[in-house]
Structure 1
Amino acid sequence: MRFPDADVTTLDLIRHGEPVGGRMLRGTTDHPLSERGWQQMRRATEALMVNGEPPWDAVVTSPLSRCRDFALWFGEHHDLPVITEPALAEMALGEWEGRTHAQVRAAEEGEDRQAALWADPSLTSPPGGETLAAFDARVGDTWQALLAAPPGKHLLVVCHLFVTNALLHQVLEQPLSRALAFDLPYAATCRIRHERHALGETSLVEWIGR
């Protein structure tokens, strides 16, 4: 803690594990976790346990099944409240939804909009999908709500790759052109600590991508 006597809220973000069907551009397409994905999530959460017990007061989850199913199981298994937050759903990818990266590239006939999205997402959106500005705004509203009225001092947030990037963007405040700076593997975890203190409020990143 950087500020004496600060009121601290800690958010542990975890990207979902591998879904059924393997790697593809899912967006809001609702695929459940594969068995490997369940194993990845169990290992990742076990690594954050303290003396074999979960440190969290509550679990907040995306409504999509690759996040929600694990969150509900985890909450029931450890007697933790689970809050489903619709605004934590993954960025809508329009015509790319449910396709592999190779299928999208082949359909674009030489134009690689996927690469353009990662290079500068402020200038490129998936055809028929959500703009980064709109996506960042909805995740940002949820971030502010979690800080204003957190359901506990330590939260586990089960979400997605782009959502994790958007939450980190709230802390790092990098330009939207760099809002997708983190390509995190399945079940990667990040920790954000928010401190309210005599000088105001400060958000700090403890780690990214464990």
Structure 2
Amino acid sequence: MACLRNTLCLVAALLLIYQKTATCDFLSPLLAPIFDNICKEVECGKGKCKASSNTTFMYECECEDGWKQFDHHLKFLPCITPNCTFDLTCGEAASPAQPKPPPKDNITSLFDACQWMDCGGGFCNSTTAFQYSCNCHEGYSNLMNITTFPCLKQCALGMDCLNLGIPLSNTSSSSPPALPDSSKNQGLNLRGSSLWWITFMLCVSLAPWRLLYI
């Protein structure tokens, strides 16, 4: 009897694996255009975009050596945190190592870039639904004078940051002037709005399928 039960369990497990594989094979042609074009809409800072079917947002940012995300578990975040010495005691900026947790009661906020960003000694400004810039308070400046990077005081940077090409002094202590919308420095284009809506609707439509296999 125990042998029969084990056999039935094994057969059920194999059927479940087959169904998941069949579902993925069915969806692959539908998702292929999105995977092919998604990285054209994404800016990863000091990193490279890589399309991936294994992540929630269908892409991840692979950081260059010496750079990392706010949270290494959130691979879709841009690589804007340098892996060098910070002495934040010289200023009042909060460490950019911790992202703001997104509100759990509003799903639309998940697609607001400022919900995932920490601008340090500044505040995040959503320029569009999926673009942002860090506006620095007096005495702070964007790292490397790029408006999508956090705001820090110059004394916060250690000497080893020079190895990453980060100057220890910027030309301005305030945010650099706004650039045209086509500039990469103006805001982080996480993805085009149409592509986001396609992805969002796919996630919603696939939710019942995923629940069947939990």
CA radius of gyration, larger in = 2
TM-score by length of 1: 0.27
Structure with greater contact order relative to length (CA < 8 Å, sep ≥ 6): 1
TM-score by length of 2: 0.26
